[in-house]
Amino acid sequence: MKQDKPPSHGGFLYKEQLGGRSGFGKSETKYIHKHFFRETEGRKEPEMAFGPIMHTKVGELEIELAPLKREDMTAFVSPGMQQATVTRFLSLSYAPVLENEYEWFEKIYQARESLVWGIFDISNDERVVLGTTGVEGITHYNGVSCATSGAQIFRPEYWGKGIASALHKARTWYVFQHMGLHQIKSDVLQGNTASRKALENSGYRPTHVERNFKFVDGKLFHSQCMERINPNEPFWSAWWGEDAPPKTALKARDNTLEALEWAKQNVELL
């Protein structure tokens, strides 16, 4: 069977990497290609694509998570993701062009199983797009709802400012509080310590390693797979059932509860 041509946008080719570039965390490469619609006042519209607007403050920066527009795609390759320093820890191994980004936008717009936000700096009069974050592969089975998270910031001048941690918390708060998901998976290349720290601080815990995931800088890097479980009831008990959660899961639960409390106090859902 012929596989769909992959969209260029590394943010949705699986890797959590804020401090470089990211996407979503799975070992196999899967591309969004299903087109499911619902009828709304005589029009066909995507059931799910972009998340609602959220605001938060990171230091002196006013950060907005909001739906992307097609015209925002220009910034992703100006030079953005055409820089190897930005895509180093991503599944993306080539320099995309604007046509690739338009293709990615159209695929995301029509995706049923994804919820995506653009990341914007709205501190000044100019609204600056920084990257993307979201969840994809949203599934519901046996009474359990799961998804895979990803994020990327393609402007190096915004790395190391705490934006990654803030958006992890805001994103998690929304999908747990307003979508009722049980589990969010992700992964990060070993060596990308800043991104892994941001994930762990917001409640993700390591689960297993997928070896030899990407060849970069003359050597193979493994992928550290991670997860976070909804700490609230009844989701927590439904996930673990009769099994006793391991100590690492209990520690991650505490971190997730702290992250959700932070979001409750610091994230404005418009």
Give, for all 270 residues of the chain, the pLDDT tens digit.
433 433 444 443 333 443 333 344 333 323 232 233 334 444 444 466 899 999 999 999 999 999 999 999 999 999 988 988 887 777 677 788 999 999 999 988 888 889 999 999 999 988 999 999 999 999 998 899 999 999 999 999 999 999 999 999 999 999 999 999 999 999 999 888 889 999 998 999 999 999 999 888 888 999 999 999 999 999 999 999 999 999 999 999 999 999 999 999 999 999
Tally of domains in the chain? 1
Residue 83 CB neighbour total at 10 angstroms: 16
Predicted confidence at residue 30, as pLDDT, reads 32
CATH of residue 168: 3.40.630.30
- Look at residue 6 in the predicted model and tell me its pLDDT: 37
Q: Specify the DSSP element, H or E, that contains 185.
A: strand 183-189
pLDDT at res. 111: 82
pLDDT at 48: 65
φ/ψ (deg, to 5) at 257: -60, -40
| 56 in any annotated domain | yes
| Cα–Cα distance measured from residue 11 to residue 107, given in angstroms and rounded to the nearest whole number | 13
Is 2 domain-assigned? no
Q: Is residue 240 part of a domain?
A: yes
d(CA 68, CA 253): 32
In a domain, 3, yes or no: no
- Find out whether 168 and 184 touch, Cβ atoms under 8 Å: no
Q: Are 23 and 150 in contact (CB under 8 A)?
A: yes
Which two tokens mark 81?
A: 């993701």
**Structural domain containing residue 151:** 10-269
How many residues can be counted in the chain?
Answer: 270
- Cα torsion 157, 75, 106, 71 to 10°: value is 140
In a domain, 116, yes or no: yes
Give the Å distances, CA to CA, from 252 to 144, 181, 207, 243, 255. Answer: 19, 16, 12, 16, 5
